[in-house]
Structure 1
Amino acid sequence: MNLALWISAWLLAGLALAGGVSKTFVPKEKLASVHGGGWTEGVGGGSVKALGVLELLAAVGLVLPALVGRVPVMVPVTAACWVLLMIGAMLAHGRRREFGFVALNFAYLALAAFVAWGRFGPESFAG
């Protein structure tokens, strides 16, 4: 199970990194023009960038604390925060009736919940 948790955390970190880079460094207007980027309409550019920074922090928090052995409890804490972020993403896409993205966000949520459960519980770094 430890291997599955590591793979899940790295997968989520990669997704968070990609999303964070795009939201932080790609202009909002360009994001709005791509498939799935319509949610940025009616959202301030600063809010989009703030979400991007949160995703970049999540990318770091999902793996780095455990890799360096410093405050590894941040891994499940970050995964739990990712669950909350995905609930928000599901609501945003649901309002736009983008149910494919709702399903995708639910898959990310489930992966993050698995990491949070596993690292808070049976495969905790505390032991």
Structure 2
Amino acid sequence: MKLFFLKLFTWWNGQTFGTQLWTWRFGELVGEDEQGNRYFRTRGRKIDPTLGFERRWVIYNGVAEASRVPPSWHGWLHHTVDLAPTEETYKPHEWEKPHIANMTGTPAAYRPSGSTLASGRRPAATGDYQPWTPGS
């Protein structure tokens, strides 16, 4: 019963009941990424008359966070490329790093040294800084 109400009222936790119904009725599974996110398009690659192109969407595995979409799928979702990564032999370049989610706003966020939120003490000023004072 709890899962039913979560699907009915929360949009940030996977998919809502409406999205599940829409996907079941009109969606076609295109593929899945390494994080378990599933990607869909309109069944039969039908062009939406309102938009002028096919609809594409993602159902997140867990919390809906847009930064969890890898670059290979991002291009397909936003119609930058026509072929999904599952329809072509996508091979990342050796200089590409593995995808990681945006951790801003979480305890795992990047905090450079000198930040008031970083652990430890802020380094002392090196002496090359002179504060401005009015009239000087």
Relative to the length of structure 2, the TM-score reads 0.24
Relative to the length of structure 1, the TM-score reads 0.25
Could you say which structure has the larger radius of gyration? 2
Greater RCO (Cα-Cα under 8 Å, separation 6 or more) = 1
> Whose strand proportion is higher, 1 or 2?
2
